[in-house]
Structure 1
Amino acid sequence: MSASLTDVQLDLQKLQLTVALESGDLERVSRLINANIAVVDIAHLLASTPHKFRMTLWGFVDQAVQGEVLTHLNEEIQQSFLGRMSAEEIVDTAHGIDSDDLADLLQHMPLERSNRVLQLLSVEERSEVEGLLAYPEDTAGGLMTTDMVTIRADVTVATVLRYLRQISLPDALDRLWVTDRQLHYQGSLALTVLLTAAPSSLVSAIMNTDIQGIRAAEHEDQVARLFERQDLVSAPVVNDEGIVIGRITIDDVVDVIRDSEAHNMMSMAGLDEENDAFSPIVKSSQDRAVWLGINMATAFIAAAVMSQFEASIAQIVALAVLSPVVASMGGIAGSQTLTLMIRGMATGHIGQSNLTWLVLRELGVGLINGSLWAIVIGVITFFWYHQLSLSLVIAAAILVNICIAVLSGTLLPFFLKAAKIDPALSGSVILTTLTDVFGFLTFLGLATLFLL
């Protein structure tokens, strides 16, 4: 088995590879990438290599492990390699990887190309992969593997042990699924229980019925929460008739959790979690240009609000100086609440059932923080401009905008989710627009009413 590298060793390996690639020392590149290291580390090295060297490095990866390496790369890098292969080469490269991993690769290919790859598979492999492709990749059916072991409840432990010795056992096997003759799910039997039970014991007497079958259409986020709550290592997947069709293992759930975190973080900046940090400049520019355009549009909305108070700003220059303070305070308060809500919704802790309580709670937080910072900013403004009326106006505007911001941050994710819009992707832009608009409107409006 290839050894997995430590972070320090990986950093050193990356440095050595970069030097070898830049100097054109291909013999050294070959030695470094095939230096008996784990496939996950090879994938890490590929993902950490600048785009112009990546294809060269890929060419030195042993073909026997290329399929496994592909499964550890993000979608964009996967497709950059697969796009240069013929269907025959893809089949050869993917030989030996799990059927669920192959299905994931095919789902991101053009339909014509994926169909050609399917045609080249054996009848058994094709049937297995097509069964997995029937489910969206973000569901339990898309996560599962069909590589599993089922047994019946009316047999003895001795019979099960004899059966296990005769078959090829799948990787990461911790439980056997107990079914009837029609494969309807009845329970599970942990290997630890099986190995310590009396040979004459019936499976029905020692099996566990606590682990429920997961419906194939269940969303992957729900699957991850189920694994978290029940500390599962694996779980069965069943169809609408309750027939076991596969299993999900903890390694797939870890990928779901990691991808979810990456999605939430990258979406805040309008980027896809599959974006490659080393992709070509033009492509990266295109990916980011759309989000910059959206932000530009929202900025002009805020500017349009300010333009309605040009006369007030012209008479009291301090309004132009202090307006960003009001908008910024609201933006930060709203972002804190929005982040908390998105995380709570992702973990399943926040929903319609506790929304009213959350609104009241966040409004209370907004009133306390709004009052505190309204006083602080009001005092600073008084010592700066020596105008009590201006200090009172900005204090009131701070309090109002922070309250509006926390309410917006609480309710916005629910409205977006109801509209089938990802709150992590668009929530921050909409929230920023709201806090800017209401901040300028409140501050400049109050100033126009009471100072002019």
Structure 2
Amino acid sequence: MPEAIEQDNTQLRLHEITRALNSGMFVHVRRMLAHMAPCDIALLLESSPHKGRTVLWQLVDSDLQGDILEELSEDVRNGIISQMDPALIAAATEDMDDDDLAEMLRSLPDTIYQEVIGSMASQDRERAALALSYPEESAGAIMNTDTVTIRPDVTLDVVLRYLRLKGELPEGTDELYVVDKDNCFIGAVSLALLLTRSPDLTVRTVMDDHCESIPVTMDESEVAQLFERHNWISAPVVDEHQHLLGRITIDDIVDVIREDAEHSMMSMAGLDDEEDTFAPVVKSTKRRSVWLGVNLITALLAAFVASFFESTLDILPVLAVLNGIVPSMGGVAGSQTLTLVIRGMAVGHINQANQRFLLAKEFAIGALNGVLWALLIAGVVALWKWDFTLGCVIAFAMFMNLLAAGIAGASIPLFLKRLNIDPALAGGVVLTTVTDIVGIFAFLGTATWFLLP
């Protein structure tokens, strides 16, 4: 309930700012923006048309620009950055977390990237180079280097005094990492233990020496799965020699999970997961036309298969009325399997050991569904058209297509994954092609064989 009230208040505030902006009350807008959180300003920018963003960005306090850029989607951020001076961009990145800095720099066009790097202070340039040295979508790419390390042979009292001298802890700190003289990770001490155990105890006595670390090269999706399974708030990142490199916090993982979910959802529609809702018309049209072109090709393939049965359709026009039923049912059944398998692959449930069982299971489901819906459609068509043979024909086609849909829905994402093609992006198109062609061929081919004189 409190979350709903807060969301309503945010929406009201955003609506008020939009109305004030449209009325030219820029001083009022600037005053309101100064009291808003960076995430809310980012939402306002993403919810505004292209021209409105330019005006809003000019009214934003320069001290908040770095925090706001972290919250923006790539498309919107790049649009704003393209209008900024490189020196201002460099200044905005000074307080960015390492992972956010790397993500932003990777998304910049080469010319702007070089200008921004050239405008950075040497320390920030080194930090950027380190952040960019790790592969994209790896643990290294989403980690931060702001770790607090302690030695195992000191007492908790010494650690507490050390923390007081530091004055503040990095955001999201829930434990301190224990390292040896070579900076090799050997354990962790939670802040709860640090505060509740006797200050005379040594770190080695209370530390968790079974604390799991994350290899710097691990894929970020696998890291997210570890966080989900173990309910971590943060986790240390190490290299192949167990040297501590940094840490990953739960807020980084939330971003990974959100991006993965958006990617899967948008990819199924052939869209970029960073697609700007208010992008210019021509730009959006170009992006969407590619996928529409691919879909047209697959539709033409299905039409090409149907063209082999033109004479059958001329003699039995009733087939044209029923022809869309079988491919449609196959498409829905296949999409169910496809979605389930893609999700299973994303969360790590599907591997080499259980793929055969999965295929056998989906084959059985396809066969069972095929029998069930074949009998149903046979009865409906036989009663509707008073033609028992026609009912049997469409029943056979329904069974074959639902069986093919189950097999295709399970095998296509596995096959695409082996080819290093994103199943969420290409799986739907391939599946639709299969179910359309199999459905049309099974129905019209069987009808030609049994119904023509």
- Normalising to structure 1: TM-score of the pair? 0.96
Deviation string, structure 1 residues 31-88 (Cα, Å, up to 9, x no partner): 3323x12111111111111222111111111111111011000001111111111221
Give TM-score scaled by structure 2 length: 0.96
Q: Residues 301-380 of structure 1: matches in 2 within 5 Å? A: 301-380=301-380
Which AA in structure 2 matches 1:144? M
2:203 maps to 1:196: no
Decide whether the 8 Å contact of 1:5 with 1:37 is kept in 2.
no
Q: CA deviation at 1:112?
A: 4.0
Q: Which moved more, 1:95-104 or 1:354-363?
A: 95-104
- Please state whether the residue corresponding to 1:200 is helix, strand or coil: coil
> Are the aligned partners of 1:100 and 1:129 in contact in 2 as well (CA < 8 Å)?
no
Counterpart of 1:103, as a letter, is A
In structure 2, C-alpha distance between the alignment counterparts of 1:119 and 1:245, rounded to whole Å: 26
Alignment match, 1:223: 223
Structure-to-structure mapping, 1:116-195, within 5 angstroms: 116-167=115-166, 168-195=168-195
Cross-structure match for 2:249: 249
Contact 1:43 1:73 in 2 (8 A): yes
In structure 2, what is the equivalent of residue 98 of structure 1?
Answer: 97
Equivalent residue letter for 1:315: I
Match of 1:282 in 2: 282
Q: CA deviation at 1:413?
A: 0.5
The AA in structure 1 aligned to 2:429 is V
| 1:6-49 C-alpha deviation (Å, 9 max, x unpaired) | 22122222322232233333233223323x12111111111111
SS in 1 for 2:235: strand
Q: CA deviation at 1:396?
A: 0.7
Counterpart of 1:6 in 2: which secondary structure? helix
SS in 1 for 2:57: helix
Structure 1: how far apart are the matches of 2:125 and 2:187?
Answer: 29
Letter in 2 for 1:193: L
Contact 1:5 1:41 in 2 (8 A): no
8 Å CA contact 2:237–2:248 kept in 1: the answer is: yes
**1:101: how far off?**
1.8
Could you report, residue by residue, the CA deviation over 1:297-353 in whole angstroms, capped at 9, with x for unpaired residues? 000000000001111111111111111100000000000000000011100011221
Q: Distance in 1 between matches of 2:119 and 2:189?
A: 37
Q: Which is worse superposed, 290-299 or 111-120?
A: 111-120
Name the aligned partner's letter for residue 297 of structure 1: I
Q: Does the aligned pair in 1 maintain the 2:94–2:124 contact within 8 Å? A: no
Query: What secondary structure is seen at the aligned counterpart in 1 of 2:324?
Result: helix
Cα distance in 2, alignment partners of residues 120 and 341 from structure 1: 47
CA distance in 2, matches of 1:174, 1:321: 65
Q: Is the 8 A contact 2:66 2:92 kept in 1?
A: yes
Tell whether the 8 Å contact from 1:237 to 1:248 is kept in structure 2 after alignment: yes
Q: Give, as a single letter, the amino acid of the residue that structure 2 aligns with 1:379.
A: G
What residue in structure 2 maps to residue 298 of structure 1?
298
Unaligned runs of 5+ in 2: none
Distance 1:188 1:97 in 2: 26
Distance, in Å, in 2 between the alignment partners of 1:4 and 1:182 is 50
367-376 or 429-438, which deviates more: 367-376
Could you tell me how far 1:205 is from its partner in structure 2? 1.3
Q: Is the 8 A contact 2:98 2:143 kept in 1?
A: no
Structure 1 alignment gaps of length 5 or more = none
Distance 2:11 2:158 in 1: 51
Deviates more, 1:188-197 or 1:112-121: 112-121
Q: Residue 316 of structure 1 aligns to which amino acid in structure 2?
A: L
Percent identity for Structure 1 against Structure 2:
45
Matches of 2:377 and 2:27 in 1, distance apart?
A: 65
Q: Is 1:39 aligned with 2:38?
A: yes
Give the stretch that moved more between structures: 236-245 or 87-96. Answer: 87-96
Distance between the aligned counterparts of 2:69 and 2:420, measured in 1? Answer: 32
- The equivalent of 2:14 in structure 1 is 14
The residue type equivalent to 1:128 in the other structure is: R
What is residue 382 of structure 2 aligned with on the other side? 382
Corresponding residue SS for 1:353:
coil
**Which letter does structure 1 place at the counterpart of 2:205?**
A
1:386-443 superposed Cα distances (whole Å, 9 cap, x missing partner): 1111100000110110010011000110100000000000100100000000000111
Q: Which amino acid aligns with 2:414?
A: F
- Distance across 2 between alignment mates of 1:96 and 1:190: 26
User: Map of 1:58-69 to 2, 5 A cutoff?
Assistant: 58-69=57-68
| Partner in structure 2 of residue 110 of structure 1 | 109
CA contact (8 A) 1:381 1:390 kept: yes
The aligned residue for residue 265 of structure 1 is 265
CA contact (8 A) 1:4 1:37 kept: no
Give yes or no for contact 2:101–2:131 (8 Å, CA) kept in 1.
Answer: no
- Counterpart of 2:209 in structure 1 is 209
Could you say if the C-alpha distance between residues 126 and 15 of structure 1 is closer, same or farther in structure 2, counting changes exceeding 3 Å?
Answer: same
Question: How far is the alpha carbon of 1:95 from its aligned partner?
Answer: 3.0
Q: CA deviation at 1:99?
A: 2.9
Aligned partner letter, 1:213 = S
Distance 1:353 1:238 in 2: 29
SS in structure 1 at match of 2:402: helix
In structure 2, what is the Cα distance between the partners aligned to 1:247 and 1:356? 38
The answer on 1:50 being equivalent to 2:38 is no
In 2, are the aligned partners of 1:76 and 1:276 still within 8 Å (CA)? yes
Aligned mates of 2:5, 2:173 — CA distance in 1:
25
Q: 1: CA distance between counterparts of 2:323 and 2:111?
A: 56
Counterpart-to-counterpart distance in 1, 2:395 and 2:380 = 10
Deviation at 1:123, TM superposition (A): 2.9
Please report the RMSD computed on the Cα atoms of aligned residues, expressed in angstroms: 1.6
Distance 1:391 1:5, change over 3 A: closer
Number of the residue aligned with 1:427: 427
Between the aligned partners of 1:83 and 1:222, the Cα distance in structure 2 is 34
Q: CA deviation at 1:178?
A: 0.9
Contact 2:330/2:405, CA 8 A, preserved across alignment:
yes
User: How many residues matched?
Assistant: 449
**Aligned equivalents of 1:282 and 1:115: distance in 2?**
28
Match of 2:80 in 1: 81
Tell me, yes or no, if the aligned pair for 2:87 and 2:120 is still in contact at 8 Å: no
Which sits farther off after the overlay, 339-348 or 153-162?
153-162
